Structures are given as structure tokens and as C-alpha cells.
Amino acid sequence: MTKNFNINEFKCKCGKCDMDELVYSNIVKVANNLQILRDYLNTPIRINSAYRCVLHNIRIGGSKYSQHILGKAVDITADGYTPDEVYEAVQKLRRDPRLKPIRFQGIGRYNTFTHLDIRDNYTTWDKRK
């Protein structure tokens, strides 16, 4: 998919489902944006969760309207960076025209990971405790 990401990292953790063409297309877009972030941070990025089939999303208590179901979202950690630092890096890539632009529109802050997605509208949230 990209220099540092492969399709297996994005597959549903249930291990039983396949993704359709639309989901795959969305995952390619997410992977390309993650590659921009990885190159900017110059560190490996770990994908905790990416595509989720509807049943797996229900099983783990995900939102009914989760971007993960569409293959548009990832929950990540970056080696050597806190979730807050990842959040700030994504914001910088979104705003600074001198840098390679990143297309993440949904950015969620959590204690142990950062949620990123390519939804159509810009939104952020903070679920840190």
C-alpha cells in the first residue's frame, strides 16, 4: 500500500470478514495520509484499530456511526510520541501550507492513542481523563 504500511494492518480484528471495494479504497486513502504523518514524525506508527466490520464494532462497543466501519479511521500510537504530540503534529500538517498536506478531518484525543479519520467534515474531540 505504502512504503511503511500494508493491508494486513488495516484488516478487521474479528478475522472472519472481508472488506468491499469502497472500504478498501478508503483504507488506501487513510494509509497514504498515515505515511505523510510517519514521514513527518520519522518514527514507526502502530495501528491499534482500523477497519471494523459491523459485528466486531458492536462487540467492542464502538459507535453505531463509527468511521471504522467505512474503513475511514485508525487508532494509532507513534513510537516516542505521546498521543497529545501526535495530535499536535497532525494539526500542524493540516494547517501549515509549507508542509505536505494531510487529509485527516476527524481527530480524537485519548489517553493512550490518537484517533484519525478521513470523514467529510472537520471535527475534534477529547476523551482524555
What digits encode the pLDDT tens for the residues 10-62?
999 999 999 999 999 999 999 999 999 999 999 999 999 999 999 999 999 99
pLDDT of 118: 98
**Domain ranges within the chain, ordered by starting residue:** 17-126
CATH T-level topology, domain 17-126: Muramoyl-pentapeptide Carboxypeptidase; domain 2 (3.30.1380)
Supply the pTM of this predicted model. 0.95
What digits encode the pLDDT tens for the residues 84-110?
999 999 999 999 988 888 999 999 999
Q: With helix as H, strand as E and coil as C, how does the chain read?
A: CCCCCCHHHHCCCCCCCCCCHHHHHHHHHHHHHHHHHHHHHCCCEEEEECCCCHHHHHHCCCCCCCHHHHCCEEEEEECCECHHHHHHHHHHHHHCCCCCCCCCCEEEECCCCEEEECCCCCEEEECCC
